[in-house]
Amino acid sequence: MELPVLYAMRSSLYSAKARSYLVKQRIDYEERPPGDPRFPAEIVPAIGRWIIPVLQTADGRIIQDTCDIIDHFDAEMPPERSAKPPAGVQNIVTRVLEMFGSEGLMRPALHYRWNFDSVNMPFVGEDFGRGLMLPGGSSEESSTFEFGPEMSAGDDVAARAKISEFAADRMRALTVDFGVNPETIPEVERSYLEFLSLLSAHLETAPYLLGGRPTLGDFGLIAPLYAHLSRDPEPSLIMKREAWPVWRWVERMNSPVADCGEYGDVASDLFADGSIPPTLKDLLAYIGREFADEVAAHVGFIDAWLDQNADVGEGDVVGGRPYRRSLGLVTWNWHGHEVTTNAIPYRLLHLQRIQSAFEEADPAAQEEASELLQQAGLGGLLELKARRRVVRSDNRELWGAEQQPVVPA
Ligand SMILES: N[C@@H](CCC(=O)N[C@@H](CS)C(=O)NCC(=O)O)C(=O)O
């Protein structure tokens, strides 16, 4: 029988989210790097951009985007194995954690990968080269970045080095675009160490964020915490030294068994009665301090952009081209630093995911979730909206229906 294929790389942030889901759910699959000739031949033309991870189902359907890959498989999961808790507070909280994991730790992930060249580059460069080009390939045919350079075939080592360097240059530019610069680096490091200590404290109490099995929030967080922050040489040492429980959780998230013997006998249930323990509330309050203003600034910017670009209509590709993910640069204040970063409409999809989980909850759970998130400084996640929705169709982000905007004052 044909297996689903995951096009992914060990060194890629979002690949880890999809891979971890497949591994934890014991879904048999084959993993291929994007350097495999089938990626430029079949996948890139079908989705119109170079992006990983991409899942090809056993019957040939192509699914890009980690949220959609998880949703595809999770639709068939029995409730006791699903990554989505039953409607209620936990189902809302796990999506907040999924959003933060997927989007909110980019600064430490990029900083600890790209600003420690002598320690990291021998490893990361090799990873990039080998993932982006198979033996005997040429960097020209492997480079399917539509804006890619002219690259000539050569011996494997030289060609790998070239393609690896090209990809690394793009990511270095992205590191700055995500707000990492000499002025913010001390804050990036302080903030990351605080995160490690809060997540460690929580994982002292349970093997996964919501108890005995992983949910969407775990899969979101494994994105930055696997390839970059646990696997690259420099941050790997930091995590091992400062946050043993987090390191163990990363291992556990890549294991097909529960892998939590050090907790004693733990059932695969979520915390009883939909509860959120104090250590998780502390983590939410951290997310409120570190991420809420960034999200609000994004929504405000995107709404203003839509106001100024009134010719944009429902069904138009966000950014005009599938690979153009940012609408421009947005500036906000992060603990006294003016931070300027790309404004990414994709993030509205995460907000919509949180808000639809809120709408599904009964009134008592809504009240509880609302109070919990307000206390954490995250009340905005339940209401912020730009004047258009973002939807996904055919593996691209499109502008959706108009709606009443709710933007920061
Ligand atoms: N929202 C997407 C993000 C995927 C993504 O950004 N993947 C990165 C690698 S980790 C990528 O392909 N970047 C290529 C590029 O930007 O050119 C998802 O969740 O799948």
Does the pLDDT value for residue 168 go beyond 60?
yes
Q: Among all chains, which residue has been given the structure tokens 């097909």?
A: 256
Pick from 20, 49, 74: which residue ends a domain?
Answer: 74
Whether residue 314 is contained in a domain is answered as yes
CA 45 → CA 6, 7, 40, 42, 181, distances in Å?
A: 17, 14, 7, 6, 36
Q: Are 128 and 264 in the same domain?
A: no
Q: Are 57 and 129 in the same domain?
A: no
- Does 128 sit in the ligand 1 pocket, CB within 6 Å? no
Whether residue 61 is contained in a domain is answered as yes
Domain that holds residue 308: 89-110+183-402
Whether residue 9 is contained in a domain is answered as yes
- What ligand 1 atom has the least distance to the C-alpha of 13? 10
Chain mean pLDDT for the chain: 94
**Domain tally, the chain:** 3
pLDDT in tens, 253-309: 999 999 999 999 999 999 999 999 999 999 999 999 999 999 999 999 999 999 999
pLDDT given at position 378 = 98
Chain centroid to Cα 195, Å, comes to 16
Does the pLDDT value for residue 57 go beyond 90?
yes
Whether residue 373 is contained in a domain is answered as yes
Q: Are 336 and 365 in the same domain?
A: yes
CA 234 → CA 56, 226, 327, 358, distances in Å?
A: 34, 13, 33, 39
What does 133-179 look like in DSSP terms, one character per residue? --TT--HHHH---TTPPP-----HHHHHHHHHHHHHHHHHHHHHHTT
Q: Are 127 and 166 in the same domain?
A: yes
- Does 13 sit in the ligand 1 pocket, CB within 6 Å? yes
pLDDT in tens, 302-352: 999 999 999 999 999 998 887 888 999 999 999 999 999 999 999 999 999
Distance CA 47, CA 395 (A): 6
In angstroms, what is the span from residue 114 Cα to ligand 1's centroid?
17
Whether residue 337 is contained in a domain is answered as yes
Q: Are 70 and 95 in the same domain?
A: no
Whether residue 397 is contained in a domain is answered as yes
pLDDT in tens, 7-30: 999 999 999 999 999 999 999 999
Whether residue 332 is contained in a domain is answered as yes
Residue 77's pLDDT band (cuts 50, 70, 90):
very high
- Does 65 sit in the ligand 1 pocket, CB within 6 Å? yes
pLDDT given at position 152 = 42
Q: What is the CATH number of the domain that holds 38?
A: 3.40.30.10
Q: Among all chains, which residue has been given the structure tokens 């209401």?
A: 383
Query: How many angstroms separate the most distant Cα atoms in the chain?
Result: 65
- What ligand 1 atom has the least distance to the C-alpha of 145? 17
Q: Are 321 and 395 in the same domain?
A: yes
Q: Are 187 and 173 in the same domain?
A: no
In angstroms, what is the span from residue 17 Cα to ligand 1's centroid?
11
Q: Are 129 and 246 in the same domain?
A: no
Q: Are 102 and 192 in the same domain?
A: yes
Q: Are 249 and 332 in the same domain?
A: yes
- Does 14 sit in the ligand 1 pocket, CB within 6 Å? yes
Nearest CA to ligand 1 atom 16: 51
- Does 66 sit in the ligand 1 pocket, CB within 6 Å? yes
Tokens of 232: 């690259």
- What ligand 1 atom has the least distance to the C-alpha of 65? 20
Ligand 1 site-directed mutation target among 14, 17, 69, most atoms within 8 Å of CB: 14
pLDDT given at position 140 = 57
Q: Are 61 and 99 in the same domain?
A: no
| Pairwise pLDDT comparison (135 vs 12), residue with the higher score | 12
- What ligand 1 atom has the least distance to the C-alpha of 51? 12
Whether residue 83 is contained in a domain is answered as no
Nearest CA to ligand 1 atom 12: 51
pLDDT in tens, 346-364: 999 999 999 999 999 999 9
Q: Are 226 and 127 in the same domain?
A: no
In angstroms, what is the span from residue 323 Cα to ligand 1's centroid?
10
Does the pLDDT value for residue 133 go beyond 90?
no
